Amino acid sequence: MDFRFNIVGDYLPLFLRGTLYTIGFSIASIIIGSLLGLAIGFGRMAKNPVARWPFVAYINFLRGTPLYVQILMVHFGVVPFFYGSTNALISGVVALSLNSAAYSAEIFRAGIQSIDPGQREAALSLGMTGRQTMRFVILPQAIKRMVPAFGNEFIVLVKDSSLLALIAAPEIMYWGNTMKGQYMRIWEPYLTAAVIYFVLTYLLNKLLAYIERRM
C-alpha cells in the first residue's frame, strides 16, 4: 500500500489543534455530564413514581436514540432556539453532556443501589440523617464501585466526540475529513485520526487504572 506520509505531515498541525478541541470537548462533557448525571440519577431513584417519571423518560430517550441524531437535534434545534444561531462549540458540549448524563445517571444509580441496605440501616440507627448517610456512608463506597464503569463511559465519550465532525466542530475527525477532501485519499486521514484517538484513550486508561489503584 502506498501511504503518503508527506500529506500526513502537512496536516499534523491541524490534527494537533483538533486534538486540543477533542480534549476540550471531552473534559467539559465529562464534568457537566457527570454532575447532570448525578442529579438525574437521584431523580431516577425517587420514591414517588410521578416525580421519577421525567428522569426515567430522559434516560430512556437519550440512551435509546443515536448520538448522531442527538447532535443534529441539539445543533439545529436546541442551540439556535436559545442562542439565536448555530454554534458548533456550544452544540458539541451540550450534545455530549446530555448524552453522557443519561449513562452516568445509570452508573450512579447502579453504584448506589449496589451498596447493601444494611449499611444504610446501620448508619441511620447510629443517628445519622438520611443526607449524612448518603454522603458519608453510601457514596464513598458506591463511588469506588463506579470507577470502572465511569472509565468505560469516559473512553466511549472521547471516541464518540468524533461524531461532532458532523456539525463541523474542528476536532480530530473534522480535520481528517478535510484532509480526505483535499487529496481524495482515505487511509492517511483515517489511520492518523485512529492513532491519535488510540493514544488519547490509552492515556486515559492509564490514568483510570492509577485512580482505581489509589482508591
Evaluated on CA atoms 9, 13, 18, 20, the torsion sign reads positive
Residue 74: other Cβ atoms inside 10 A = 23
Q: Rounded to whole angstroms, how far apart are CA atoms 191 and 176? A: 9
Among 58, 103, 174, 197, binds another protein (CB under 8 A): 174
Pick between residue 102 and residue 164 the one whose CB is nearest to another protein.
Answer: 164
Among 3, 13, 198, 209, binds another protein (CB under 8 A): 13
Among 57, 186, 199, 203, binds another protein (CB under 8 A): 186
Stretch that binds another protein, among 9-17, 49-57, 125-133, 137-145 (CB under 8 A): 9-17
Residue 25 three-state SS: helix
Minimum CB–partner distance for residue 4 and another protein (Å): 9
Which three three-digit cell numbers place residue 124?
Answer: 441511620
The closest alpha carbon to 124, from 114, 132, 116, 135, belongs to 132
Q: Applying CB under 8 A, does 152 fall inside the site for another protein?
A: no
Q: Which residues bind another protein (CB under 8 A)?
A: 13-14, 17, 76, 80, 84-88, 165-168, 170, 174, 177-178, 180-187
